Structure 1
């Protein structure tokens, strides 16, 4: 990203910036020192449930890294949960943001099939980085997919 690490860190902790960056996000607000309330509408193809839940930041090393974990209920569809380890590093005047994410779901969500859920999750991740760059006013240069390591 074409910005100093401190600026990217501030953007990653700004609810308005995150709301603008997360596809389908209707609400994200600090509810505690390390917790955020979240409401997000997810496009699962045939359905577009709204998930309401909480995000928790842990393992916080300011301007360097944190773990973001959350769980949300999508009405009758059940629960979805996930976590991501986010790290920032300097590369000259630019910042490298890396993350490793994992997640799961229960109930009716999984009956829709892993391919649908996985594609929806990937669209949210891809959309986040595209929109985060615009919202933060920085250039986001993704690594080619063949260079990405699966978690």
Structure 2
């Protein structure tokens, strides 16, 4: 059966590479790993408790690392065996790719089972293998996130380039104080201070005459004017009558001589 996957680990690639080569880290991150140690030839040997469906077993096995291209790639080949439940073998390629401050771990490979384990079906076995790898990646991420890991001897750690030193501070003379603003000189004796401005009185609103009052006044004035004219006419008429009477009696009625 074929298996593959990818996991993002929040650590530098050199730290992840060193952790994958450390037996203590591998033992702590592999689920149900009872023992793991490095052999004299550089391989790993250990015991892992496995539960696949109804079968519970302890598999003893070894793993060899080859095709090493530090710190980006290697190939792992492993095989395990249990006398009662059977065993299996497989191989796969692991690559590490930088992703900012983190590392992406990609894996792909093939696993074969035999004995009683092979009778459980590839779907069940594939699920167990994937779950084991995912749990290992999660444990590795949590372990590396809590503490740094030193790179292997001969492998330069991947660190950010040092920041350039800041230039020395330049001594600056203090700025000259600005010219103070002088107060206005006092007024000379005998010069009266300027008179305060007289406030402008509000403009009175012109009174609007009452139309009724105007009409009444016109009537009164008309009456007064008419009375005066009548009086003058009567006076003239009286004078004319008097003058006429005098002329009549003095000239026309004079006795004959």
TM range (shorter): 0.7 to 0.9
**TM-score, scaled to structure 1:** 0.84
Contact 1:49–1:75 (Cα < 8 Å) also in 2: no
Looking at structure 2, the residues matched to 132 and 101 of structure 1 have their Cα atoms a distance apart, in angstroms, of: 20
Looking at structure 1, the residues matched to 141 and 100 of structure 2 have their Cα atoms a distance apart, in angstroms, of: 19
Mapping of residues 58-77 of structure 1, within 5 Å: 58-77=66-85
- 1:61: Cα distance to partner? 1.0
User: Match of 1:39, SS?
Assistant: strand
1:123 aligns with 2:131: yes
Contact 2:61–2:80 (Cα < 8 Å) also in 1: yes
Q: What does residue 19 of structure 2 align with? A: 11
Higher Cα Rg: structure 1 or 2? 2
- 1:65: Cα distance to partner? 0.9
**What is the count of residue pairs matched by the alignment?**
138
Which consecutive aligned stretches of 4+ in structure 1 deviate over 3 angstroms post-superposition?
A: none
Deviates more, 1:106-115 or 1:22-31: 106-115
User: Match of 1:109, SS?
Assistant: helix
Q: What does residue 118 of structure 2 align with? A: 110
Looking at structure 2, the residues matched to 126 and 55 of structure 1 have their Cα atoms a distance apart, in angstroms, of: 19
Would you tell me which structure has more strand in proportion to its own residues?
A: 1
Compare relative contact order (CA 8 Å, sep 6+) and give the higher one, 1 or 2.
1
- 1:90-118 Cα offsets, whole Å, 9 max, x none, are 12222121111320111111112222211
Looking at structure 2, the residues matched to 4 and 33 of structure 1 have their Cα atoms a distance apart, in angstroms, of: 28
Contact 2:74–2:95 (Cα < 8 Å) also in 1: yes
Stretches of structure 2 lacking an aligned partner (at least 5 in a row): 1-8, 147-257
- 1:25: Cα distance to partner? 0.8
Looking at structure 2, the residues matched to 113 and 91 of structure 1 have their Cα atoms a distance apart, in angstroms, of: 37
Contact 1:42–1:120 (Cα < 8 Å) also in 2: no
Q: 1:92 aligns with which of 87, 92, 100?
A: 100
User: Match of 2:31, SS?
Assistant: coil
User: Match of 1:49, SS?
Assistant: strand
